[in-house]
Every structure is written in C-alpha cells, then in structure tokens.
Structure 1
C-alpha cells in the first residue's frame, strides 16, 4: 500500500506538529512538508508534489481557499480543510474539497478522512 503524501498548512506551528503526528499515526499518510504561510506553501507544494493538502481556511496573506485555487491551476490533488470555522464547509465542498475536519480534530473522524483518501487515491 502506497502512503498518501500530505502537506500541512496552518498558521499555528504547534498545531502543525501535533497534527502531523496524528496523521502519521493513521498508518495511511506520511507528512512530506508543512508551512505556516500561504505564499511559502505554494513554492513548497510545487517542489514536493504532495497527493493531499491539509490546511486551515484562515491563513496569513491568503485564505486557504485562495491557496487551493492557485495550487489547482497546476494540477489536481486531494484537499482536506482543517479549521475551527464550521460555517465555510458548504463553500469548501463547492470547491471540490475531499473532506472538512473541525478543530480540535476527533481521532475517529480523522481515521475516516484518512480511509476516504486511501480509497480515492486507489481509484
């Protein structure tokens, strides 16, 4: 089984470290990079070419949704929003988000999202 290569983007460095551990504990995902800023993330994503982004909607410099639009200009990838803002889920799914996780991330919910990514990645 090939692990899903994930890139994390969140303005809170401490959250990024904790969430990276949670993701890798699923056994389905390996974190290949992370960033706390949108512009910086764009450069790293182009270089690392992850399978999936896990990102907050509210980022310094540009929103997570703007970032996803710019990344998708160069190809498609799985997008999982990880945010405390439950009010933007409909907009996120209208932009073809793969999943939407609310902070603090529930362990069972994270495993369901990882399983969904694995199934989609194997299609």
Structure 2
C-alpha cells in the first residue's frame, strides 16, 4: 500500500484554499485531514491531527506562516511547504527549514514536485524512527532524576533572573516570570513570552541550568514549560497530555514526562 502523507492546508484566501485543496485531493500520495483559514487554526490542527505535511500560506493576517512555524512545538512539527505570491519569501522559507515553497498562482507540476520532496523526506524520517526512539529512551533514563520530582521535598529556589536575547540589532531582556514555554530547534531555542517568540542560540540543557527549577519543567524531549502558566490539562492518547498555557498556546506532554504533570496536579 503506497504511503500517504496526512496533510493540512492553510490559506486565509478562500479561493486560494479551495484551489489548493482541489489540486492536492487529486494526488494519491496526499490525504487531506484539515483545512485552515488562519495561523491559529493551523496550530490547533497540527496538535489535533499530527499531520505529516502542511501546505502553509506565508502572508496571513494575525500569525503569518513563518510565525506559525515558530509557534509550533518542535516535537510535533510536520514537514512544511510554504505558499507565497512573492519569490523573495523563498529564503525565509528555507531558513525555517521548509521542504519546499510554491509561488502563486499554483502550478500543478510544481505542487507535484513539492509533494514528491515531502514524501522523500518523510520516508527518511520513518527509517530513522527506530533510532530516534532508542535515543529518546536513553535520554529519558539519563534525565529521569530531573524529570520526576516529589512534592514533599523542598526544592532549592534560584533567584528569578532575566534572559538576554540578541535579535539582529536589538537586545531583548525577558523576565523568567514572563516566559510561558521554550522549545529547542537544532542549535537554537524558541522562547515564547507575552505572545511573542524570541530565538536564542543555546541548547535546552544550557537554558534549563539558567531557569528556576521550581517553575520550569521539561515535558517533552525538546520542550520546557513554566508551570505557573498551565490553565488546563487535557488527557490525550497513550498516556500523553496536552497543556493549555495562557489563552492560546497548546503543547504536548510526552509519555516519558507524564509524571511531571501528575506531580503538578497532585500538589495543586
């Protein structure tokens, strides 16, 4: 049975969205699981459907396509093909590690090439899956003492310091209390605070050493959350959870780190 890419399509223009859905629906390698009119719907669809691929419009009101990628938790991000009316966005697209980009008006042959590239990348990821699971298991064992904590033990508190992030010509100084969550993306981390996402060159381990360990906990291989921002805990399949952080942000808790949330709930 041929591999099908579970796909989400995102575009704020109804006609463009309809056209893209029509073209993709004719491709045997594609299974469309959701269509979205804006960036917020796109993030929700990724969390709900865990798609393999997302065709994502770059220019949208509210969250742009590039901002959607920054907001997505790295552990659940699908392969991305950007759609744009302007070729100058191509560089930004590939800086965001996109599989490909297509320029509007959409050409059938160009979409076919994008899907083929995504399928090749997906098959490579599947081949690496077993190795990633083994590495993840080793990491979870080695990190076990930092993942699970007892509510009866007194935890040493660090002074709430500020995080300094240099962004081109600007330097942002962010209070730890304002940080909702952090996720790793290669050699960088994305710091989500007050509705904005800041990118900092650092590893997740280095950042953990800077943060107040009574507030910040690892809930996925590449994700840290500030416990004080948890508004809702939503049980998911196979022992996983979703966390609602503030009004909009939704992140997944993996099975290896579920005891963090259980301890948090027990102490609340």
Same fold (TM over 0.5): yes
- What is the alpha-carbon distance in structure 2 between the residues aligned to residue 89 and residue 72 of structure 1? 22
- Report how far residue 44 of structure 1 moved: 2.0
Tell me the alpha carbon deviations over residues 31-52 of structure 1, each in whole angstroms, 9 at most, x when there is no partner.
1101111112211221111111
- Report how far residue 55 of structure 1 moved: 1.0
- Report how far residue 114 of structure 1 moved: 1.1
Greater mean deviation of Cα atoms: 108-117 or 69-78: 69-78
- Report how far residue 72 of structure 1 moved: 3.8
Equivalent positions of 1:54-65 (< 5 A) are 54-65=55-66
- For 2:139, the equivalent position in structure 1 comes to none
- Say what the alpha-carbon RMSD is for the aligned residues: 1.3
Q: TM-score, normalised by structure 1?
A: 0.92
- For 2:157, the equivalent position in structure 1 comes to none
Q: Which has the higher strand share?
A: 2
- Structure 1 runs (4+) deviating above 6 angstroms are none
Q: In terms of Rg, which structure is larger? A: 2
Higher relative contact order (CA 8 A, sep 6+): 1
Give 5+ residue unaligned stretches, structure 1.
Answer: none
- What is the alpha-carbon distance in structure 1 between the residues aligned to residue 78 and residue 36 of structure 2? 17
- For 1:18, the equivalent position in structure 2 comes to 19
- For 1:103, the equivalent position in structure 2 comes to 104
Q: Which has the higher helix share?
A: 1
- Report how far residue 74 of structure 1 moved: 4.0
- The number of equivalent residue pairs is 123
Q: TM-score, normalised by structure 2?
A: 0.44
